[in-house]
Amino acid sequence: MLDRATSEAGPILSLRGVTKQYPGCLANDHVDLTVGRNEIHALLGENGAGKSTLVKIIYGVMRPDAGEIVWQGEKVTIESPAHARRLGIGMVFQHFSLFESLTVAQNIALGINDPAERVGLEKRIIETSREYGLPLVPDRTVHDLSVGERQRIEIVRCLLQNPRLLIMDEPTSVLTPQEAETLFATLRRLAAEGCSILYISHKLEEIRALCDTATIMRLGRVVAHCNPREKSAKELAELMIAAELEPQARSRRVVADAAPRLAVEALTVASPNPFGADLKSISFSVRPGEILGIAGIAGNGQNELMDALSGEIPTGQPDAIRIDGTPVGHMGPRERRALGGCFVPEERNGHGAVGAMTLSDNGFLTAAARKSLARFGFVRHGRIAEFARDVIARYDVRTTGPKAQARALSGGNLQKFLVGREILQAPTVLVVNQPTWGVDAGAAAAIHRALAELAQNGAAVVVISQDLDEIFLVCDRIAVIAGGRLSTPIPVAEATIEQIGLVMGGTQAKSETAHV
């Protein structure tokens, strides 16, 4: 990193009265925000509170309707992301701005304005990514990468630009505890060198550990400023949602001798992606009332396992997967759903939902049969809209209604809709990949309660997640997937987050070294 001057007076960024109006939604309502020099500043709020809109204005993705931006003491109009980068503002988006048909190096090159800085870029990518514990292979194509690996591209791309202000939106959502600590050390070093950081995260304990100050938003307005180290995570969450956060209660009872609702035996599947992880002799079972957690670093076979369980990747072996005793390994997604299986994939945009379609239509895509949304070949539009309204109401999805396009929702609200869409189909088996990625504390608690209630009613639930706090909170047993192999599940009470994180991280390090 180049040295940054740190002696200038005054804040590096000030927003004054910033306002942004969308049809039917006041996203930012006269927002004031000040980020000091050398400061790590948290921006907190529920999904839909206006955080994403605000940082997109700072990064030049959109223009405010009113208000002003003062950058290093001078009023500016940030015309575009390229202009923001020239000013010294970098951003890591929660939803990645990557071209899937290009390589890692080509995507990073697109964010570098000076052609001279592209010379020797691949070597710099390898060196920088290794230095910060975010290994990347420059010549790999993005469409073959997991979500976690794609996030590394965004982070490294910003670090290569030597920013004065770095905006980070949910940067640790796919990192192990050890990787997160490595990133925190990097961010603290950047702040000490003179790079201010505006940090968005729903992981409130990491906010308390990392950030110097916090600005809290609700319904488009700034409602509080605080030192997060002087607040508990529960207090921060309650400031965000303006309500008391109910603790999660464990009242489920798993019947030890019950027949498994989901049984996987020696599942072996080749990944359809050349850089993916082949599944190698995976075996586990989940009983009624049980939630099994599968932990692992992105790229170790989670997506392949999800696709094999949902039927998107055929196994060719009927007995490799059974739902309530019925062999389904040779069946497709529709047949498995008819037998009681429901599925929430990791990537909500484009896989879990079609962005250009309405919420009603997205509900129809997976619930047509189980919710009788069509009859004699005719679509029942009234029932479809009713189902979408039910999901919206029961899971507090912040939207204008069933006719809203999926892409108009914030990430967390879309996630609530997708999880609710599957749970309201009353599945006997639910498999969900990254259930609360990018979701605020209140919404995460609601999703966790819904999963627990589903299990309490006799369903078998599989939670695939890189968030170990989540797995230890909601799951009964835990297994680690690494290199396409699954460890023997053990009771959560017999494991620790540090132990599981080390198992996850050690295996990944070997895998990445082999690629590089």
Two structure tokens written together for 303: 């997506």
pLDDT on residue 93: 77
pLDDT on residue 61: 93
At what angle are helices 121-131 and 147-159 packed, to 10 degrees? 110
CATH number of 246-340+427-516: 3.40.50.300
Please determine, for residue 6, whether its predicted confidence score (pLDDT) is greater than 60: no
pLDDT band at 4 (very low <50, low <70, confident <90, very high): very low
pLDDT on residue 441: 77
CA pair distance 188, 491, nearest whole angstrom: 36
Looking at mean pLDDT, say which of 45-49, 275-279, 423-427 comes out highest.
423-427
Q: Quick one: CA torsion of 490, 494, 500, 502, rounded to 10 degrees?
A: -130
Please determine, for residue 513, whether its predicted confidence score (pLDDT) is greater than 70: no
For residues 77 and 8, the model is more confident at 77
> Hey, where are the domains in the chain?
13-88+162-241, 246-340+427-516, 354-424
pLDDT on residue 95: 66
Please determine, for residue 385, whether its predicted confidence score (pLDDT) is greater than 50: yes
pLDDT on residue 243: 77
pLDDT on residue 146: 66
Please determine, for residue 235, whether its predicted confidence score (pLDDT) is greater than 60: yes
Helix (H, G, I), strand (E, B) or coil at 366: helix
For residues 247 and 115, the model is more confident at 115
Residue corresponding to tokens 């079609």:
354
Write out pLDDT tens, residues 52-96.
899 999 999 999 999 999 999 999 999 999 899 999 999 987 667
Please determine, for residue 164, whether its predicted confidence score (pLDDT) is greater than 50: yes
DSSP 330: T
Beta carbons within 10 angstroms of residue 33's beta carbon: 22
* % the chain with pLDDT above 70: 92
pLDDT band at 7 (very low <50, low <70, confident <90, very high): very low
Q: How many CA atoms lie within 13 A of 275 on its CB side?
A: 19
Please determine, for residue 5, whether its predicted confidence score (pLDDT) is greater than 60: no
Please determine, for residue 102, whether its predicted confidence score (pLDDT) is greater than 50: yes
CA pair distance 291, 175, nearest whole angstrom: 22
pLDDT on residue 410: 78
Residues contacting residue 283 through CB under 8 Å, at least 6 positions apart? 264, 265, 266, 267, 486
Please give the mean pLDDT across all residues of the chain. 88
pLDDT on residue 251: 56
Residue 23 phi, psi dihedral angles, 5° rounding: -55, 120
Query: What is the spatial order of strands in the sheet that 221-226 belongs to?
Result: 89-92, 165-169, 196-200, 40-45, 213-218, 221-226
Contact yes or no for 95/151 (Cβ under 8 A):
no
Contact yes or no for 82/113 (Cβ under 8 A):
yes
Contact yes or no for 63/69 (Cβ under 8 A):
no
CA pair distance 106, 109, nearest whole angstrom: 5
Beta carbons within 10 angstroms of residue 490's beta carbon: 13
Answer yes or no: same fold for 13-88+162-241 and 246-340+427-516.
yes
Residues contacting residue 420 through CB under 8 Å, at least 6 positions apart? 391, 392, 394, 395, 397, 450
pLDDT on residue 270: 93
Question: 232-246, 395-409, 475-489 — which is least confidently predicted?
Answer: 232-246
Q: Is 494 left (phi over 0), alpha (psi -120 to 50) or beta?
A: alpha
Which three-class secondary structure string do you get for 389-419? HHHHHHCCCCCCCCCCEHHHCCHHHHHHHHH
Two structure tokens written together for 1: 């990193």
Please determine, for residue 506, whether its predicted confidence score (pLDDT) is greater than 70: no
pLDDT on residue 252: 62
Please determine, for residue 130, whether its predicted confidence score (pLDDT) is greater than 50: yes
pLDDT band at 48 (very low <50, low <70, confident <90, very high): confident
pLDDT on residue 515: 36
pLDDT on residue 427: 96
Residue 161 phi, psi dihedral angles, 5° rounding: -90, 0
Two structure tokens written together for 309: 């369980």
pLDDT on residue 496: 86
pLDDT on residue 180: 78
How far apart, in Å, are the Cα atoms of 423 and each of 174, 363, 401, 460? Answer: 24, 12, 19, 12
pLDDT on residue 516: 31
Radius of gyration of the chain (CA): 23
Q: Quick one: CA torsion of 74, 78, 82, 86, rounded to 10 degrees?
A: 0
CA pair distance 412, 86, nearest whole angstrom: 31
pLDDT on residue 505: 64
Please determine, for residue 136, whether its predicted confidence score (pLDDT) is greater than 80: yes
Is 13-88+162-241 CATH 3.30.1600.10? no
Helix (H, G, I), strand (E, B) or coil at 33: strand
How far apart, in Å, are the Cα atoms of 91 and each of 142, 156, 273, 516? Answer: 19, 11, 29, 26
Stretch 480-507: mean pLDDT: 84
Please determine, for residue 397, whether its predicted confidence score (pLDDT) is greater than 70: yes
pLDDT band at 468 (very low <50, low <70, confident <90, very high): confident
Stretch 208-220: mean pLDDT: 94
| Separation of CA 472 from chain center | 18
Contact yes or no for 84/160 (Cβ under 8 A):
no
pTM above 0.85, yes or no: no
Stretch 323-330: mean pLDDT: 96
Which three-class secondary structure string do you get for 65-94? CEEEEEECCEEECCCCHHHHHHHCEEEECC
DSSP 487: P
Write out pLDDT tens, residues 32-43.
999 999 999 999
At what angle are helices 381-394 and 411-423 packed, to 10 degrees? 120
- What's the longest Cα–Cα distance across the chain? 73
